Amino acid sequence: MTASRFAHSGGADQCAASVSSPATDEVLAPLNGLDDIPWAELGHAYGAADDVPATLRLLARAGEDPEREERLDHLDASIYHQGGAVYAAGAAAVPFLVELAATPGLPMRAAIVELVGRFAALQNEMREPWRSAGHAVSCRAALVAGHDILVALLDDADHSVRTAAAALLWKYALWSPRTDDAMEALVGRDAVEPDLALRVSLRLDGARAAAKARESNTSSAAALAAAVRRLTAAPDRNTDALRLACLAADKRLDPAAVSWRDLLDAALAPATPHKAYSAWGENGSRLAGALCAVCGDDAAAWLNVIRVLIRDERAQVRTGALQAAGDAMRRWRSAASALIPLIGATLTDSEPENRMRSADLLAAAGTAGAVFDDRLAEALGDPHRPTAIRAAWALARHGDVRAVPTLVHGLDHEENEGFGPSAHYNGRSYWFAQPPLREALVACAARHGALLAPALRSALARCLAQARTEDGAANGLRTDSLPRIHLLCEALVACGPAAAEAVPELEALLDSAHPRLACTVIEAVGPAAAHCVPHLERVERLALEASSTQMSARRAHDTSPTGEETPAHPSPGRQRVPGPADLWVTALTAAWTRFAVVGDEAALLCTVDEVLTMTAPLRQGAEAGREDSLPESATAALAARDAATLASTVARCLSVLGPGAGASRMRWPEQWLRANERWWRSHEAVLVAWAHWRVTGDSGLALQVFQRVLDSRPGAAYGPIELAALRRVTDMRSEARALAPLLHACLDRDERISDSGGWRGMALDEEVRELASTMLATLPAR
């Protein structure tokens, strides 16, 4: 399947509109009964499925059809989409897809078999209640009804059809009531199959299916394992060529049965035909990853495989070893220290791609990669621009001043192979994506703010000048400019007091429709931003006045029998009007920013009191929540979000004052927290819990919330919310001793605890370890 399968955006109408007849009207597959199905009443990913029968009929025709692949992609995107559940149209289409797959002379039959195979695999992937849903049951019944047809495809004259059918049957065998029959057919096919690549995949696909059946404890596990052992143990005419496949299959069935060295030796043996193994695809760049995948959770085996292949004479094999190194470092803490010396040595590799990957991984390693900073500084002049950019990224993450010129250049010049936007993804994989300019600036500014602040100020001035709306309004900023302004403000925050020279630009930003961006920087600058105080007072006053007006209008609307509800989210193309919650947050943010600059406690408390008085109706409703209660409407959901935002923002203001804020003002955020346990795993609840401890000195409620956040399910990973809770726990020191077992659990493991992918996962895990260690150091030894 091509990438267009994932780019479908026009739905069924677009799919039907794009259909044109192929060159011949000869129908090779009759598709009897197609018109007996009420397709218009069935659904797929893009609505009614009335377009499906026309697409199936066009796929059943003979002759050249330049749109055939696109038709199949559209069908795939509609009836299968991205898996997770079976659509009604998908279940209804499976019998016809099986018929098409078995029709001799029909083009693209292998791709059709692959689509049927995805439906077979989906039965193993679905969770309840979707697996027991009627459409899923119908889909399984259709596949079982087509068992004999699918098995017969193993004898097809087209080897690509045979290959796709074999892969399908292994997935089908995991759940099918005819598992034994499918296994006999697969083993029997191997005995007569002339295509070596297919014989390799029979063993490898079978071992993966058997391992999955064992892990999921399905009834087919023993039968699958027995079939695979018959394939790997029988005397064979291609013993040497199949040795790697047999060893890999045996290791999946029993990890202790085959060593990593035996596996690697078989992969590198001259008798192993590279064309028969997908692991040798792309000139060997897949080899390390494939071997490591067979080694499963054995970190030592991964590291040993990588150590050998990262020194291989073939550049693409080394490329793959660096990819495996990234995956290993993302997964295990011990991998970084073990592999960094080898990764650093690759900075001088003859292959530019490998030099780039080396620098990227040294950046991901954080301070552990700083031992190669001098070599990274030399790489700043690498003629391969992506390598030079990664070198600057690594130096920035290490806090090395030599990154500054490249970062300043990145502020002024966008390059196709330069710094890019921030990317977030989950999982264990390591992606060699463009280094994020925002994070590079923030990391370097923490140590070298005075050097970066002038460039950041100039960039902000240019951005503000270019961001004015077309109507020329003094406070208008184009929405497409906001990501850039966010980036520059975050970097200025990291500069700390050195960002004071950007005060003129910050004052201009305060006068815009997005003053809170400026507040974050002014707070970091502190007393040196005293010139901003009149602007902050103006922002606060205007926000309170606008909020009061909106609240009055809301009360009038609520009492009007003819009032129509205003949508919280505008139609596409219309700018969202700030609601009361936005205005409360703006007023309170300006107030605590002013406190950070001049330390006026009375003014801050006055603003808090005014907001609490203004929001009394909302606060009364929010106190009625319960852990298992859900909002009854979209309006109620928005009100719940507003309440959470208000509670956390008020709590933040009070937290900076500590006991001086007065426990009475903290009473409502406390009531919100106790009444809304379903919010406890949120940034808002973490902040309120910590602030409650800061103001009242009572650690009980905070510890309940943090225990809930940090006491994850077995195997679950930590994310930003858990990290925020750990930061607050560290502030509590000895008062949080009850959480010591959880903190020890964070440290007493080699597998990283973060759920973020790539370098972020490593960085988050390192911060978790640092916070846990800092906290435990304040407690008596266990």
pLDDT tens per residue, range 242-299: 999 999 999 999 999 999 999 999 999 999 999 999 999 999 999 999 999 999 999 9
Cβ(101)–Cβ(153) under 8 Å? yes
Which residues are paired to 459 by β-bridges? none
Q: What's residue 633's pLDDT?
A: 76
**What does the pLDDT read at residue 714?**
53
The more confidently predicted of residues 258 and 661 is: 258
Residue 557 pLDDT level (bands cut at 50, 70, 90): low
pLDDT at residue 20 greater than cutoff 50: no
pLDDT for the residue numbered 755: 83
Note the pLDDT of residue 561: 47
Contact 500/529 with Cβ under 8 angstroms?
yes
Q: Which long-range contacts (CB under 8 A, 24 or more apart) does 193-198 make?
A: 193/162, 195/159, 195/162, 195/163, 196/238, 196/241, 196/242, 196/273, 196/276, 197/163, 197/275, 197/276, 197/277, 198/159, 198/162, 198/163, 198/166
Query: If you search the block for the tokens 């650690």, which residue do you land on?
Result: 699
10 to 74, 84, 239: CA distances (angstroms):
10, 21, 51
The Cα 678–Cα 38 span in angstroms is 43
Q: What is the pLDDT of residue 578?
A: 53
Q: Are 561 and 491 in contact (CB under 8 A)?
A: no
Q: Which residue do the tokens 């067979």 mark?
A: 294
Helix, coil or strand: residue 420: strand
pLDDT in the model for residue 608: 95
Q: Which residues pair with 61 in a beta bridge?
A: 27
* 8 A C-beta contact, residue 393 and residue 360: yes
Q: Which residues contact 390 (CB under 8 A, 6 or more apart)?
A: 356, 359, 360, 363, 379, 435
The mean pLDDT of 516-544, rounded to a whole number, is: 95
Closest among 336, 400, 402, 403 to 369, alpha carbons compared? 336
Confidence of residue 623 (pLDDT cuts 50, 70, 90): low
pLDDT in tens, 728-771: 999 999 999 999 999 998 899 999 998 889 999 999 999 999 99
Provide DSSP, 533-549: HHHHHHHHHHHHHHHHH
781: Cβ contacts below 8 Å, ≥ 6 apart: none
Asked whether the beta carbons of 84 and 130 are under 8 A apart, the reply is yes
Q: Can you tell me the distance from the alpha carbon of 757 to that of 390, in angstroms, rounded to the nearest whole number?
A: 18
22-31, 150-159, 470-479: segment of lowest average pLDDT:
470-479
Is the pLDDT assigned to residue 5 strictly greater than 70?
A: no
Spatial separation of the C-alpha atoms in residues 585 and 643, rounded to whole Å? 11
Average pLDDT over residues 225-230: 96
**Banded pLDDT at 475 (limits 50, 70, 90):** low
Contact criterion met (CB below 8 Å) for 721 and 681:
yes
Rounded to an integer, the average pLDDT of 526-548 is 94
SS3 state at 756? strand
Average pLDDT estimate for 405-425: 91
Q: pLDDT grade, residue 772 (50/70/90)?
A: very high
Q: Per-residue pLDDT tens for 503-515? A: 999 999 999 989 9
| Residue 568 CB neighbour total at 10 angstroms | 15
* Highest mean predicted confidence (pLDDT) among 27-36, 300-309, 555-564, 744-753: 300-309
First to last CA, the chain: 57
- Cα–Cα distance measured from residue 445 to residue 419, given in angstroms and rounded to the nearest whole number: 16
DSSP 562: T
Among the residue ranges 455-464, 547-556, 620-629, 710-719, the one predicted with the least confidence is: 620-629
Peptide bond into 129 cis (omega under 30): yes
In terms of Cα–Cα distance, which of 650, 678, 675, 676 is closest to 664?
650
Could you read off the pLDDT of 190-199 as tens digits, one per residue? 999 999 999 9
Taking a C-beta distance cutoff of 8 angstroms, is the pair 722, 735 a contact? no
Answer whether 503's CB lies under 8 Å from 495's CB. Answer: no
What integer best gives the mean pLDDT of the chain?
Answer: 89
Is the alpha carbon torsion for 687, 691, 692, 698 positive or negative? positive
Determine the 3-state secondary structure of 43 from DSSP: strand
Q: Which two tokens stand for residue 81?
A: 């989409």
Q: How far is CA 614 from the centre of its chain?
A: 39
Q: What is the pLDDT of residue 156?
A: 97
Report the Cα 66 to chain-centroid distance in Å: 36
pLDDT of res. 18:
40
pLDDT per position as a tens digit, 112-129: 999 999 999 999 999 899
> Looking at residue 554, what is its pLDDT?
65
